[in-house]
Structure 1
């Protein structure tokens, strides 16, 4: 069995130094940390996490909170990609992750309280931002560390936020559609409560107004149910056929594509389609979808690194981090004039 002494001997340091590297002690230089961690990896040494937690009084675990009311969470690539980014940051710093979600705010708040009460987590990452959120309010009241993947909707500097510029990215994808010759554009959303939805709607509306097309574009909200989506599409194409559909995210987009197929509406010859958040859902769609790539792994990694540093230094300055986006143009928007 590989021991801490074996690591110390190969690294040319004392066992206490190895122990401090495992605890990410500030008194150990970065080169020494890298050398010791490399040797630990090469010889397969795994620290005794339970014993270390007893010493540090930490769970070395980050809780990921997914917004309540989100259906098909396990099928949404955004959450798995963000989780992957967070996990990478955590793994490099000796932390693990724990995901919590619920169908309503009360249940979600109860879960968060239980995790804190049982000391199972050291901090949280909220994968959303919205007004009057009971989870954020509780964490603020308790002074418990957390980071938000989402917009700083309150404009203060008390919490670190990691986000894209969703207004700008929605403006950019709408501008692309307009410049390709589409003017009758409908933005389809399945929620308008969270900050990300509000900002994407705003970017779309600003772009349509800028190009003098406000009267030819509109936002349509549908329920997150199959028949509701189908009836919405039937109504749209019965009462003035839109030239392009812009959806709020890749999951909603995939459902729209399915019903367009059933209604024998072809893409892009009958209608163009575009969406946000690139993934296998959009890359492998038929046809492949034009998307705004929001780099969810980068969002997760940035948030993971920030919450870990905040746990280690509660007085750390808070910041707003903006992850750039890019448009990936594919076959779904190749029908413009």
Structure 2
């Protein structure tokens, strides 16, 4: 025999209307009561009729996760997004909602996908897994007043957009300071993106650390085209660089391959530090010295903040900074 709302209410010693409000995540019910009733629902094997619930509340009871344009092999294979999706899924399940993913290989198609999901009411709001300059997706969500949380600092409208982030300028500064503390004085900042907000922030952090020590800063070494890679050995010779601050772990591995190809052994000839502490950091030797940004926490908090907006519990313009920590491994040597 199927378990009903009345059965759950009787077991939880509450009214059927209270169980219905728990199902609909109504703000009038305390979080303690919601947790207790949901545990009883799980134990009794009760699953609400989502279709009926959605018709009653005019909600999709689903969140959209927008991945950045997957326009490179590095982005396509980045485990960061899988970790993020896992954290979002787990947190969404606590709110009794599902998740859907919007992805594409260019920003125009991505915008079309997001527009369709919004207009067809497939989701109640979005988590944007990246932050870029002049992003048409952010502009669309903002102008259509769609609830969304941004992972990363917004390029504009900082006081109006709800976002969660690490302090990426501090990350860039601390990565560079780690190299400076190991005796490196000629350091380059290397990236395969140049429009993402994290690129600007981490590069500014690099500049700050170098300038505070009275050392020269170099323009960022951005590897966007195949010809950029061919200039690498000349740039290392010209600058006399002994260390690289690299935008993330996957690209750091690519840079280690490139350095090895041109006769620079890591860390003996060239030290490397990167960010994210992804699974790739310890897949091959030398293990990467990297900064852990706690991507699971970013996913969890971004989901919570989106649900608060959907439930009209949170004003706009909230910033949450997620802590980070440096993990020393094998790619930085002391001079």
Question: How many Å separate the matches in 2 of 1:145 and 1:155?
Answer: 15
- Which residue of the partner structure matches residue 116 of structure 1? 118
Q: Contact 1:166/1:200 (CA < 8 Å) preserved in 2?
A: yes
- Find out whether 1:184 has 2:165 as its counterpart: no
Gaps of 5+ in 2: none
State the alpha-carbon separation in 1 of the partners of residues 76 and 108 from structure 2: 21
Change over 3 Å in CA distance of 1:131–1:263 after alignment to 2: closer
Quick one: structure 1 residues 278 and 115, their matched pair in 2 at CA, closer, same or farther if it must change by over 3 Å?
same
Alpha-carbon distance in structure 2 between the residues aligned to 1:280 and 1:315: 35
Checking the alignment, whether the CA contact within 8 Å between 2:27 and 2:311 is kept in structure 1 is no
What is the distance in 2 between the residues matched to 1:109 and 1:60?
21
Counterpart for residue 135 of structure 1: 137
Q: Which residue of 1 aligns with 2:224?
A: 223
Cα separation, 1, equivalents of 2:309 and 2:281: 35
Q: Does residue 54 in structure 1 map to residue 52 in structure 2?
A: no
Consecutive unaligned residues of structure 1, counting only runs of 5 or more, are: none
TM-score (norm 1): 0.91
Residues in 2 aligned to 1:331 and 1:315: alpha-carbon distance in whole angstroms: 44
Query: What residue number does 1:163 align with?
Result: 165
Measured in 2, the distance between the counterparts of 1:278 and 1:315 equals 32
- Inter-partner Cα distance in structure 1 for 2:53 and 2:157: 38
Matches of residues 1-337 of structure 1 in structure 2 within 5 Å? 1-68=2-69, 70-72=71-73, 73-154=75-156, 156-214=158-216, 217-223=218-224, 228-229=228-229, 231-239=230-238, 241-313=240-312, 316-333=315-332, 335-337=333-335
Cα deviations by residue, 1:93-131 (Å, 9 ceiling, x for unpaired): 011111112222221111111111111011111122233
- Preserved contact between residue 222 and residue 232 of structure 1 (Cα < 8 Å): no
Q: Report if the CA contact (8 A) 1:295-1:323 is conserved.
A: yes
Give secondary structure in 1 for the equivalent of 2:256: helix
- CA distance in 1 between counterparts of 2:160 and 2:178 reads 36
Q: Once the 2 structures are TM-superposed, how far is the Cα of residue 218 of structure 1 from its aligned partner? A: 4.5
| Aligned CA distance change for structure 1 residues 232 and 285 (closer, same or farther; 3 Å) | farther
The 3 A distance-change label for structure 1 pair 314 and 29 is closer
DSSP-derived class of the 1:204 partner: helix
Cα displacement string for residues 295-314 of structure 1 (whole angstroms, at most 9, x for unaligned residues): 11111111110111101107
Runs of 4+ in 1 over 4 A off after TM superposition: 237-241
Asked if the contact 2:186/2:239 (under 8 Å) is kept, the reply is: no
CA deviation profile, 1:205-249 (whole Å, cap 9, x unmatched): 11111112215x452111265x753x2433344546521121101
**Is the contact between residue 130 and residue 195 of structure 1 (CA under 8 Å) also seen in structure 2?**
yes
Distance 1:40 1:235 in 2: 65
Is contact 1:290–1:331 with CA below 8 Å preserved after alignment? yes
Answer yes or no: is the 8 Å Cα contact 1:152–1:320 preserved in 2.
Answer: no
- Does the 8 A contact of 2:276 with 2:290 survive in 1? yes
Task: Give the distance between the partners of 1:58 and 1:269, measured in 2 at CA.
Answer: 58
Q: Secondary structure at the match of 1:332?
A: coil
Distance in structure 1 (CA, Å) of the matches to 2:122 and 2:216: 50
State the aligned residue count: 333
Aligned partner of residue 99 in structure 1, secondary structure: strand
Give per-residue Cα distances to partners, 1:57-78, cap 9 Å, x unaligned.
Answer: 1111111112225424442122
Q: Bigger shift: 109-118 or 6-15?
A: 6-15
For residue 52 of structure 1, report the CA deviation from its aligned partner: 1.1
